Amino acid sequence: MGTCPYCGSVTYPGDVQCRKCDGALVSRPATLYTGPKKVSRTPQVAQDIRRQGLAVVIIGLLLKVYWGGCGPWPVVNDPTLLAVRKFAEPLLLCGGTMAYLTGWFVRIFG
């Protein structure tokens, strides 16, 4: 049995609040304000990497389909452009895939 520090009425063991004036009898640990919570940017960055990787893969696939002779249209046979396509197509497909996988690695391990 004790007395309430606010109103002086009787309190009982185990009370956390005065039964008469609702004053707190148990002191709560002070919480220190440490500024706004730091939110991890990693998932967002990883998602951006995956999106850009997918976009590059799609560009590579479009290149393959529309220029690679996979459609019912004539293929551009200019040797210079053909060399560009032969260089750009695997670069886009492999690079995009690597970027996409990198995005997942960042998501999982970052």
Least distance between Zn ion and beta carbon 20 (Å): 5
Is 49 a binder of Zn ion (CB under 5 A)? no
Task: Kindly state the DSSP code that residue 22 receives in the 8-state scheme.
Answer: -
Q: Are 97 and 57 in contact (CB under 8 A)?
A: yes
Tell whether residue 7 is a contact of Zn ion (CB under 5 A): yes
Question: Helix-strand-coil percent breakdown of the chain, rounded to 5?
Answer: 50, 5, 45
Residue 62 is a binding residue for Zn ion (CB under 5 A): no
Pick out residues in 8-47 that bind Zn ion (CB under 5 A): 18, 20-21, 23
Task: Give me the least distance between CB of 16 and Zn ion, in Å please.
Answer: 12
Residue 3 interacting with Zn ion (CB under 5 A): no
Q: How many CA atoms, within 13 angstroms, populate the side-chain half-sphere of residue 50?
A: 13
Choose, by CB under 5 A, the member of 2, 6, 82, 98 that binds Zn ion.
6
Instruction: Please report the sign of the dihedral spanned by the C-alpha atoms of residue 40, residue 43, residue 46, residue 48.
Output: negative
**Residues at the site binding Zn ion, with contacts judged by CB under 5 A:** 4, 6-7, 18, 20-21, 23
